[in-house]
Amino acid sequence: MSDIYAPIEGKIVTIDKLTGTFRACVTCGHKTARVSVRPIGMHHGHLTCQKCGGLTAYLGRDHLAALLAAHSADGDDAGKAVA
């Protein structure tokens, strides 16, 4: 796990977009996910659905940086998905 992104590990984000990385879970339709900064293959992190636990998206470095910026701006909560 990269230390720079540690503050967003385990944060809950809203995934309510229609397409893209922050779309609702394709398995169950749930609209919140947990952030993990543990790499999977070439991906820097991923999102898992809060309801079914399924992988909803892989996260690149740019996604993690945006989530970290939102977390820093909002204080304790990463809040709404930003990309």
SS (H, E, C) 2-71: CHHHHHHCCCEEECCECCCCCECCCCCCCCEEEEECCCECCECEEEEECCCCCEEEEECHHHHHHHHHHH
Q: Assess if residue 81 is contained within a domain.
A: no
Task: Report yes or no: 54 and 28 within 8 Å, Cβ to Cβ.
Answer: yes
The pLDDT confidence band at residue 80, using thresholds 50, 70 and 90, is low
DSSP state of 76: S
pLDDT per position as a tens digit, 56-73: 999 999 999 999 999 888
Q: Assess if residue 68 is contained within a domain.
A: yes
Total structural domains within the chain: 1
Q: Assess if residue 9 is contained within a domain.
A: yes
* Run of H or E including 72: helix 61-74
Q: Assess if residue 62 is contained within a domain.
A: yes
* Residue 75: per-residue pLDDT: 61
Q: Assess if residue 10 is contained within a domain.
A: yes
